[in-house]
Amino acid sequence: MYFINITALHHHSGQWSSFKRKYGFSQTPAFIVFKNGSNFQMIQWSSQNGLSSSALQRWISKNKKTIIQSN
């Protein structure tokens, strides 16, 4: 699992938009599992619902095997 600090990108809206399109997310934080170079599974914060710790825990449990294999 990797943490990517997007602070610098966030200050440049064009680069930030390109980065989000490239990796297939629209909100942060976003937790993404890549498989064979593509976005395989993702959970992200939403302005309507946020991101609850229980939803994140369920997502991690569901994707644990894939997450471990990718490291």
Integer Cα distance of 67 and 43 in angstroms: 13
Strands 38-44 and 30-35: antiparallel
Q: What is the pLDDT of the chain when averaged over all its residues?
A: 89
Q: Is the pLDDT of residue 16 over 80?
A: yes
Integer Cα distance of 37 and 33 in angstroms: 10
Copy the structure tokens of residue 13: 């809206």
The pLDDT value recorded for residue 42 is 94
- Per-residue pLDDT band for 71 (boundaries 50, 70, 90) equals low
The pLDDT value recorded for residue 65 is 85
Q: Which residues pair with 32 in a beta bridge?
A: 42
Q: Is the pLDDT of residue 62 over 80?
A: yes
Q: Which residues pair with 31 in a beta bridge?
A: 43
CB 29 within 8 A of CB 51: yes
Q: Is the pLDDT of residue 52 over 90?
A: yes
